[in-house]
Amino acid sequence: MTDNTYRRILRRERFRSRSASVSIALGLVALGAAYVAVEWVLSFLGQRALLMSPQAAVDGVNSPSVWGVTAAGTAIALGLVVLLLALIPGRRARHTLPHDRLAIVVDDAVLASAIGRAARTEASVPADRVRTTVSARRALVAVTPSSGIAVDKPSVQAATERLAADLAPVPPLRLAVSVLPSGVVGS
């Protein structure tokens, strides 16, 4: 049971919730439906329409005016936005770490600093000479060497990969180490 609960919690933490966009979309749909219903009842009772009677709306569709086209365009744009919100995974900048008794969620910035630390220890450069960026499936490590002291790129790659293998973040990270061509005086 806990396993399932944890899996669900971790998933919720990794992805953005859609409840806000869903409530807004449903609210808009409800308002639209209510308006159509009101117009229909008014025309049924023979009253004056609020904006446009159902008959006028149907005529508008058959012979579209500028306003009709504009409204349709807006509706299409809105529809695309809603579709995107629904289809895009909505990933947050977080990873989860496997643990048998805890559900661990780590911000990507924290992972980046851990990987950067491993890289700078291996390359023996000061902390500010390593830039690490972590995205969902990739970690980029850029090392600025000290002038005249070559950085062993394969060993930095190996050290960071070892750390990534130890942590085993989900989704897994592919490490890319690069050593900048020009260095900085001092070490």
Partner 1 sequence: MIAGRVSVTPRALESVARGVAAGHLGVEASRVRVQLSDKQGLLAVAIAAPLRSAPFTGADAVGLVTQSEHARANIARDVATLVGAQVGTVSLRVTGIDIVETRRVL
- Taking CB under 8 A as the binding criterion, the range among 57-65, 99-107, 166-174, 179-187 that sits at the site for partner 1 is 179-187
19 is a site residue for partner 1 (CB under 8 A): no
Binds partner 1 by CB under 8 A, chosen from 150, 165, 170, 176: 150
Shortest CB 185 distance to partner 1, Å? 5
Q: Are 124 and 99 in contact (CB under 8 A)?
A: no
113 is a site residue for partner 1 (CB under 8 A): no
Shortest CB 144 distance to partner 1, Å? 9
148 is a site residue for partner 1 (CB under 8 A): yes
CB count in 10 Å sphere of residue 178: 13
154 is a site residue for partner 1 (CB under 8 A): no
Buried b (16+ CB within 10 A) or exposed e, 53-76: beeeeeebeeeeeeeeeeeeeeee
Closer residue to partner 1 (CB): 92 or 131? 131
Binds partner 1 by CB under 8 A, chosen from 57, 105, 142, 184: 184
Q: Are strands 138-143 and 104-107 parallel, antiparallel or unpaired?
A: unpaired
How many binding residues for partner 1 (CB under 8 A)? 16
Name residues whose C-beta falls within 8 Å of residue 77's C-beta, 6 or more positions apart in sequence: none
Residue 72 to residue 67: CA distance in whole angstroms: 9
